[in-house]
Amino acid sequence: MFPATRIRSCLPVINPIIKQRLRPHRPFRQTTATLTQTKNPVQTQLQRTKWMNFRAIFTRWMPLGSVMYVSWCYIRASINYEISKVEIKFYEMFPFRITSRIWGKLAACELPVSLRGLVYGTYIRMFNVNLSDAAITDLTSYKSLSAFFTRPLRDGARYISPVPCVSPCDGVVLNCGPADTEKIEQVKGVTYSLEEFLGENKWSETNGSYYNSLLKNKDNILHQCIIYLAPGDYHRFHSPCDWKASFRRHFCGKLLSVNPWMARLIPGLFAINERAVYVGEWQHGFFSMTAVGATNVGSIEIYSDPELRTNTKGKRTRINETDLSNVSYKKGELFGQFNMGSTIILLFEAPKDFKFEFASGERVLVGQALSAAAKEFAR
């Protein structure tokens, strides 16, 4: 046996040999990566934190989360999923007003002539735009996307029916029919409050319930027509009948999406969003026409009301009111325009036998007769 002192003297030579034999094999690329991390610790730290800083929340996580959430809402709408109040509040927290203002500025930027055909042509294919109805078919004549969105119609592109009340815009009917209660259907099975939508009745003498205070003739009832304008539709809207507007109320609300599938998920959507309500009278009594804003539709322009300013900075609960002194509108007259698609809501008084000529889900055009009963009144 070797003495202990002799073994201890051999350890400095044996230990490195044993460690080298027991050391696991490491690929050359890992060793290189390790050396790189050792040489650049500052760069490694930046790579770790670039997805966690304050700027990344707005430039990466919020857009990604918005896309994922809207996609999930679309899937749930297809399977008749009932959304919870917590999810609605979470959806309302997204900065749609800020993004809509940014989109409005981008859409108003003048495009180079060489890019106009490509940009507008892509938009036409994506949203199935019927350019043959436009007054100007040369795409290079539109300086910006906003100008293309609000393009005018050529003369004779729409036939204005001789009946008393016609469709004010091109679009898809979300709902139409009698509104004989203070809770009105925005789509089948989903309602919104009449009083929250129109606001306090300051244009007529109140008598009894809010619903009855709107009616001029107690034998009549209210009827409604909700028309959704898709991004590819004609974005101007017209007066649906001969009437006089006496009052305007602007609600500085939210700018949530008003797509049909979103309207099926969020109760009271039209009473939440920003909107410009015009109230007056027509041949049967009370008449109102409301332009509802939506995501990327922060700009609602009314030609006869230049003082209206939508999607401005400030509290969302602001309500601006203006007396219009009975401004007269003729049937088919240009009333206003949207940037991108949105919604027009008609609420009007008419006899109980007033029947709409079309049903929910059908497509209508400017000037199309609203109802078969209206034809009888026109005789």
Quick one: which of 285, 249, 313, 338 has its CA closest to 95? Answer: 313
Distances (CA, A) of 290 to 23, 66, 120: 78, 28, 29
> Taking CA 254 as the corner, what is the angle to CA 323 and CA 258, rounded to the nearest 5 degrees?
100
Cα–Cα distance measured from residue 85 to residue 265, given in angstroms and rounded to the nearest whole number: 10
User: Among 239, 299, 342, 371, which one carries the catalytic annotation?
Assistant: 342
DSSP state of 366: T
Residue 323 a catalytic site member: no
194, 179 Cβ separation under 8 angstroms: yes
Residue 223 a catalytic site member: no
Quick one: which of 312, 243, 242, 241 has its CA closest to 276? Answer: 312
Cα–Cα distance measured from residue 107 to residue 296, given in angstroms and rounded to the nearest whole number: 10
User: Among 100, 167, 233, 238, which one carries the catalytic annotation?
Assistant: 238
213, 110 Cβ separation under 8 angstroms: no
Cα–Cα distance measured from residue 270 to residue 171, given in angstroms and rounded to the nearest whole number: 17
User: Among 146, 161, 167, 170, which one carries the catalytic annotation?
Assistant: 170
Residue 25 a catalytic site member: no
Burial 49-70 (b: 16+ CB within 10 A, else e): eeeeeeeeeeeeeeeeebeeeb
Reading the block at residue 219, the tokens are 């034998």
CA 32, distance to chain mean position in Å, is 52
For the annotated catalytic residues, the residue numbers are: 170, 238, 342
